[in-house]
């Protein structure tokens, strides 16, 4: 079995707190930092078993991950053998079809960020207290480069991302770790997520075992603009009001209704009870019951281009799912709620979005593959379905999306603008706790 007390907690189960701070730093004094890493950070690093232990309530959970330049700053010369990690995200922005890097947060440009500390708690006060404690211990050994304060949305929107859709429903289950996966979860070999475990066939230094690569992206969401697009392009059908047609379009773009109910199981109207039931809300394959392949011409129940279908095609590629393109997502929204002025003017004036976190043992098979080879590739899935209308990127150019209208599947819709704007990010390695103790802090 996996050594869950050695795997950082955010990777397999997520820290799942309402507030999360991403603190990006550089290492100014390597030997000073190593000493503090061991004496002050290591005891706070939250393991998977700690997160799973319901008898102890953690006030603030902490994880830490390093970029390639961060490992180099620590004097680690071993090659982790992930070329995207080695080069960093900025050098590979073109692979993701971002419209250049003009929208990138300046601090993400280049390779200056050495690491990120993830702090999660119920209140921002707790986060600030934890951060103040770390900063006074670490002194000048590190410097803050950039921070992103993220938070679950308030009230009934908790657990929903800024467009309004329930998130965090479908993550893969790691074989041998989660004993009873929910119906519809992909069961993947541990090595698809954790380095050095069964299923990861890349040669790595021994200390990298049970770490995972963290793909971080700050993805701005243009919520009023998205809502205006849905209103302007409402699906028309007898018996559908404008609002219902607009909701249906949004649901088909995502593949789920705002409640989380999958459109494949509830094609025409939302079903909040289905959305809330985690034994049912992931229990579909895009194939008819008993079939191991999806119908490759019928998009009545769910467009081939829907975000959750592009990023996890289930029976479109045949069951059981044997592809190695699963990631564990642990993102959280950032930024304030849409104001009445923004809503009435259909214009974003304050930044909000998703602090996207994806874990995998191989970035080229995981995050980058999903973004580049599936979401951004109009040919992907059944010969040509257009872009993923949510995250698909075309270097800022218009994006053609097929199959959104259930009554006219040959119709295509051209999205003139993006509703998600990449503000950049970085690739990190989230090491095992023993690697922090025995390799990175010595
Ligand atoms: Fe996506 N959204 O609100 O539309 N995503 N996503 N994502 N996403 C998912 O099933 C969203 C992004 C995946 O297993 C849901 O848990 C938004 C990136 C994958 O069936 C919703 C952003 C990448 C899945 C959203 C964003 C992915 C998934 C349904 C950015 C990878 C699971 C909730 C702002 C490159 C598929 C759920 C499965 C689900 C949204 C980003 C991938 C609602 C707003 C960058 C693999």
Q: Which atom of ligand 1 is nearest to the CA of 326?
A: 46
Q: Which of 214, 328, 329, 357 to mutate to test the pocket of ligand 1 (most atoms within 8 A of CB)?
A: 329
192 lines ligand 1 (CB under 6 A): no
Report CA-CA distances (Å) from 155 to 149, 152, 158, 160: 18, 9, 6, 10
Please report, for the chain, how many H helices and E strands are present, in that order: 13, 13
270 close to 351: Cβ distance less than 8 angstroms: no
So what's the pLDDT on residue 177? Answer: 82
Task: Please state, in angstroms and rounded to a whole number, the distance separating the CA atoms of residues 233 and 47.
Answer: 46
Q: Which of 254, 389, 391 to mutate to test the pocket of ligand 1 (most atoms within 8 A of CB)?
A: 391
Instruction: Map tokens 């075992």 to a residue.
Output: 209
Over residues 377-433, the pLDDT tens digits come to 999 999 889 999 999 999 999 999 999 999 999 999 999 999 999 999 999 999 999
Q: Is 173 a residue whose pLDDT tops 90?
A: yes
**Mean pLDDT, to the nearest integer, of 327-348?**
98
**Mean pLDDT, to the nearest integer, of 84-112?**
97
What is the dihedral sign for C-alpha 240, 278, 14, 368? Answer: negative
**Mean pLDDT, to the nearest integer, of 347-357?**
98
285 lines ligand 1 (CB under 6 A): no
371 lines ligand 1 (CB under 6 A): yes
302 lines ligand 1 (CB under 6 A): no
Task: Please state, in angstroms and rounded to a whole number, the distance separating the CA atoms of residues 332 and 18.
Answer: 9
303 close to 403: Cβ distance less than 8 angstroms: yes
Q: Which atom of ligand 1 is nearest to the CA of 255?
A: 29
Which of 191, 190, 188 is CA-nearest to residue 323?
A: 188
Buried b (16+ CB within 10 A) or exposed e, 103-116: ebbebbeebbbbbb
63 close to 45: Cβ distance less than 8 angstroms: yes
Average per-residue pLDDT in the chain? 97
First to last CA, the chain: 28
Over residues 44-74, the pLDDT tens digits come to 999 999 999 988 888 999 999 999 999 999 9
What residue owns the CA closest to ligand 1's atom 19? Answer: 311
Q: Is 258 a residue whose pLDDT tops 90?
A: yes
One of 167, 388, 405, 418 is an active-site residue; which one? Answer: 167
Has 125 been annotated as catalytic? no
Calculate the CA 58 to chain-centre distance. Answer: 24
């Amino acid at each position: 079995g996996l050594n869950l007390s050695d795997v950082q907690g955010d990777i397999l189960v997520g820290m799942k707190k309402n507030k999360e701070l991403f603190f990006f730093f550089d290492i100014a004094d390597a030997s000073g930092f190593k000493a503090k890493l061991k004496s002050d950070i290591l005891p706070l690093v939250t393991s998977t078993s700690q997160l799973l232990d319901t008898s102890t309530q953690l006030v603030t959970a902490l994880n830490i991950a390093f970029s390639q330049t961060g490992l180099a700053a620590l004097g680690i010369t071993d090659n982790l053998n992930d070329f995207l990690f080695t080069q960093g995200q900025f050098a590979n922005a073109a692979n993701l079809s971002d419209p250049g890097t003009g929208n990138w947060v300046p601090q993400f440009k280049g390779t200056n960020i050495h690491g990120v500390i993830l702090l999660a708690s119920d209140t921002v006060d707790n986060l600030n207290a934890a951060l103040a404690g770390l900063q006074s211990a670490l002194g000048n050994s590190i410097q803050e480069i950039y921070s992103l304060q993220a938070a679950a949305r308030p009230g009934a929107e908790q657990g929903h991302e800024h467009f309004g859709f329930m998130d965090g429903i479908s993550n893969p289950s790691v074989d041998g770790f989660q004993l009873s996966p929910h119906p519809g979860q992909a069961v993947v070999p541990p090595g698809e997520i954790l380095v050095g475990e069964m299923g990861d066939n890349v040669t790595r230094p021994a200390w990298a075992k049970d770490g995972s690569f963290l793909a971080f992206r700050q993805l701005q969401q243009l919520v009023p603009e998205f809502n205006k697009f849905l209103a302007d392009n409402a699906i028309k059908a007898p018996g559908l009001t404008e609002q219902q047609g607009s909701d249906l379009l949004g649901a088909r773009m995502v593949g789920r209704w705002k409640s989380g109910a999958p459109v494949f199981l509830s094609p025409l109207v939302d079903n909040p009870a289905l959305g809330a039931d985690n034994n049912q809300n992931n229990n579909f394959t895009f194939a008819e019951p008993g079939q191991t392949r999806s119908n490759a011409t019928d998009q009545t129940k769910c467009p081939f281009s829907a975000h959750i279908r592009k990023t996890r095609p289930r029976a479109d590629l045949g069951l059981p799912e044997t592809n190695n393109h699963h990631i564990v997502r642990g993102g959280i929204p950032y930024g304030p709620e849409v104001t009445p002025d923004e809503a009435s003017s259909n214009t974003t004036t304050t930044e909000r979005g998703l602090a996207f976190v994806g874990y995998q043992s191989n970035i080229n098979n995981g995050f980058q593959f999903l973004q580049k080879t599936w979401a951004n590739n109009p040919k992907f899935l059944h010969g040509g379905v257009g872009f993923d209308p949510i995250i698909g990127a075309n270097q800022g150019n218009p994006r053609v999306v097929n199959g959104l209208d259930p009554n006219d599947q040959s119709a295509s819709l051209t999205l003139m603008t993006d509703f998600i704007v990449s503000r950049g990010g970085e690739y990190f390695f989230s090491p095992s706790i023993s690697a922090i103790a025995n390799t990175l802090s010595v």
